[in-house]
A and B are shown apart, each in its own frame.
Chain A
Amino acid sequence: DGGITQSPKYLFRKEGQNVTLSCEQNLNHDAMYWYRQDPGQGLRLIYYSQIVNDFQKGDIAEGYSVSREKKESFPLTVTSAQKNPTAFYLCASSRARTSETYEQYFGPGTRLTVT
C-alpha cells in the first residue's frame, strides 16, 4: 500500500451524519484521488486534485466534498446528501508531470457502513 495511509479502516455512522475519511501520503506526489468501490462496478472517481488548493469533480461527486490545503493530505467528507454512502473508499496519489505517465499508488481503503 506504499506511502499512503487511510484511517480508519472501518467506519460506522448513522444515516444523516456527515463523516470525514482521512488520506495522507508521504510520497511527495502532486496528484491525489478518491474512488468509491462497489461490488461489480469497479472503481468510480469521486474527486481528484492535481495541486494544492485545487480539485475537480469526478464522475460521482454528488454528496461528497474534499479539501486540499496541504500537499500530503486530501480528506473526503461524505455528507448526508449522499444517497447510498455504504461502500469501500480508496485514496490514491501519483506524480503529475504532464510529460510523463505515472501509475497511481493506493491506500489500504476505508470501509464505510451507514445504517
Chain B
Amino acid sequence: AQSVAQPEDQVNVAEGNPLTVKCTYSVSGNPYLFWYVQYPNRGLQFLLKYITGDNLVKGSYGFEAEFNKSQTSFHLKKPSALVSDSALYFCAVRSLTSGTYKYIFGTGTRLKVLA
C-alpha cells in the first residue's frame, strides 16, 4: 500500500533559523511527491512538487524540498524561517489505483515560528 508519513506533529523554530519539516513515503514505482501549506480555516495551497530530475526542488515563498530515494524521504526546508510561515504543512504522494490517479496525504505537521 502506498503511504506518506510525517513523523512530527509540531515543529518549533526561531525566526531567522533554518527549518525542516520531515516526510517519508512508501510507493511502488516512481514517486510523485508534493508539499502543501494550510493556514487556519483555509484550503491547502501548493508549494512544490517532485516528479523527476534534480533532487533539490524549489518552490513558492522560498521553500525547497530535498528528495532522497535511498531514504525514501522528501523533507521540506527553508534557509531562514519567518513568523508568517507558521501554518500546517502536508506532504502528499500521487497514487495510481485501478487506472485512475488519487493523492495520499500525510497527517500534517504544524510549524510554529517564534519571534
Contact = CB atoms under 8 A, between A and B. Distances in A.
With most chain A CB atoms within 10 A of its CB, the pick from B43, B90, B94, B103 is B43
A8 interface: no
Contacts of B25: none
Nearest to A100: B51
Interface residues of A, number: 29
A111 B49 contact: no
B43 A107 contact: yes
A4 B44 CA distance: 12
B25 to A, nearest CB: 14
Contact of A90 (B43, B94, B100): B43
B67 interface: no
Secondary structure dominating the interface of A:
strand
A35 B42 CA distance: 13
Nearest to A41: B107
A17 B90 CA distance: 32
Given A42-B107, A101-B94, A58 B102 contact: yes
A58 B105 CA distance: 13
Interface in A26-70: 31, 33, 35, 40-43, 45, 48, 50, 56, 58
Contacts of A56: 98, 100
B63 interface: no
A75 interface: no
A18 interface: no
A106 B100 contact: no
Contacts of B71: none
A4 B46 CA distance: 14
A27 B107 CA distance: 27
B42 A104 contact: no
A104 B41 contact: no
Interface of A: 1, 4, 6, 31, 33, 35, 40-43, 45, 48, 50, 56, 58, 88, 90, 92, 96, 98, 101, 103-109, 111
Given A42-B107, A101-B32, A104-B36, 7 more contacts: A42-B106, A43-B44, A45-B102, A58-B102, A101-B49, A104-B44, A104-B103
